[in-house]
Structure 1
Amino acid sequence: MTVEKLVEQLQALWEEHRSQIYVVIGLVLAVGFWWWHTHQPVTDAVGATSQSSAYSATSAVTSSLATSTENGSGRVWVDVKGAVNKPGVYHLKKGARVQEAIAAAGSQTALADLNQVNLAKELQDQQVVYVPAQGEKVADATTATTGTTDATSATSQSGQGDSVNLNTATKEQLQTIDGIGDKKADKIIAYRQEHGGFKTVEDLKNVDGFGDKTVAKIKDRLAV
């Protein structure tokens, strides 16, 4: 069969089945459009699902960070000293009581005198809890000089004016006494934290920078 005859036969078939060929082409185009149309929403749905998952993950991380921050702010640091088995600094939940701080420090020793300690007192951040031994007298064993004290408890009235309490006064209140500056006030606070407070005004002589003359000059303004 020559090429010319093959072309003639194809032309004859085209003329004879032209309408059917158009129908087939139309069906192919219709099927192609239908396939594209049905698959397009699936792609969008997948994208929406991915965005939703990403948003959920971000929300979860944000929530976790917020919870972590809240937990961090809901804790207090306390320094437990005196007649306990494991004195030291402990990290307790906010709202904890003195009894919990003592328990965290390995509980009290056999020589401890808990009658001088308010076990139900709520702990404050940076507080010192001092547990005295039997026979030892402490001005305020439940707090043993906390970082913050009320002005009303730090001073007491006397005939010559306000007396500053060495065991409860703040740094600023100590500095109202002539001869006690910034550094000496820090030394007083450090001493009472380490020794559980001053038993008498004369104990101030044990603090570096306070000799007999200095104490004699200011003792009328001091109290324990």
Structure 2
Amino acid sequence: MEWLKLMWEDYRKYCLLVLCGVICLIGFVTQKKVAQPAAQTQMDASFSTGKRAKPTQASASSKLMYVDVKGAVNRPGVYALKSGLRIQDALTKAGGVNANADINHVNMAQQVNDQQVVYVPVKGEVTTPIGSSAAQGDSTTDTSGPIVNLNTATKEQLMEITGVGDKKADMILQYRQEHGQFKSVDDLKDVSGFGDKSVANIKDQLAV
């Protein structure tokens, strides 16, 4: 037994070092196993969040509006435009304006809206500038009602004119189909149901 005691005295330091090493190794392995699932969970959450956000961003940027471009342009028609674009972009889609266009009556910087009609007048044609406060029915500049373009207005827009109901709106649309565009507001007198007095009463609400 004496020799065992002597051996323990000689190798005690080494045994303690080995024991400490084993304890440290066990602690390191245990900590790594605990940390790995947490890191994986964080990566999964980040990936999942990024994956959901991507379609939302794509959906917002791909929203389209449809604009009807008419008048003195090279290719009149309905065009799809991305949200936030301007009337200038709509005219570019339509091949630009032609040589007869009067661009002084067009606000190129105005943003387009879905289902909007963009009408470019010819030189010498009397009209309300596109994008102006009057064209948008600004009450500070026009107290009699919104300005309605006889050449581009829909039936619903025509019925906003004072004294124009369902039947008279249909007569205006029929006149446009049979005779083409109105050259002046006074041409409205040629439409059945309108006379000198009735046209004079609503003249400040009209444009061509």
Q: Work out whether the TM-score is over 0.5.
A: yes
Whole-angstrom CA distance in 2 between matches of 1:165 and 1:119: 16
Task: Determine the structure 2 residue equivalent to 1:166.
Answer: 148
CA shift in 2, pair 1:204/1:55, >3 Å? farther
Tell which structure's C-alpha radius of gyration is larger. Answer: 1
- Counterparts of 1:141-180 in structure 2, within 5 Å, are 141-143=129-131, 149-152=137-140, 155=142, 162=144, 165-167=147-149, 171=156, 174-175=159-160, 177-180=162-165
Shift of 1:134: 4.2
What is the aligned residue count?
180
CA shift in 2, pair 1:41/1:57, >3 Å? same
Task: Determine the structure 2 residue equivalent to 1:122.
Answer: 110
Task: Determine the structure 2 residue equivalent to 1:112.
Answer: 100
CA shift in 2, pair 1:196/1:65, >3 Å? farther
Q: Does 1:80 align with 2:62?
A: no
Partner amino acid, structure 1, of 2:105: V
Q: Does 1:133 align with 2:122?
A: yes
Task: Determine the structure 2 residue equivalent to 1:26.
Answer: none
Question: Which of 31, 34, 40 in structure 1 is aligned with 2:30?
Answer: 40
Whole-angstrom CA distance in 1 between matches of 2:105 and 2:164: 33
Task: Determine the structure 1 residue equivalent to 2:202.
Answer: 222
Whole-angstrom CA distance in 2 between matches of 1:218 and 1:175: 15
Shift of 1:164: 6.2
Shift of 1:56: 1.1
Whole-angstrom CA distance in 1 between matches of 2:40 and 2:109: 53
- TM-score after normalising by structure 1: 0.54
Shift of 1:102: 1.5
Query: SS state of the match for residue 74, structure 2?
Result: coil
Partner amino acid, structure 2, of 1:91: L
CA shift in 2, pair 1:196/1:80, >3 Å? farther
CA shift in 2, pair 1:34/1:98, >3 Å? closer
Q: Percent same amino acid among aligned pairs?
A: 19
Query: SS state of the match for residue 81, structure 1?
Result: strand
Shift of 1:84: 2.0
CA shift in 2, pair 1:152/1:70, >3 Å? same
C-alpha contact 1:98 1:123 (8 A) present in aligned 2: yes
Q: CA RMSD in A?
A: 4.8
Question: Which of 59, 80, 90 in structure 1 is aligned with 2:80?
Answer: 90
Structure 2: 5+ residue runs without aligned partners?
Answer: 1-19
Shift of 1:180: 1.2
CA shift in 2, pair 1:78/1:197, >3 Å? farther
Query: SS state of the match for residue 222, structure 1?
Result: helix
Task: Determine the structure 2 residue equivalent to 1:18.
Answer: none
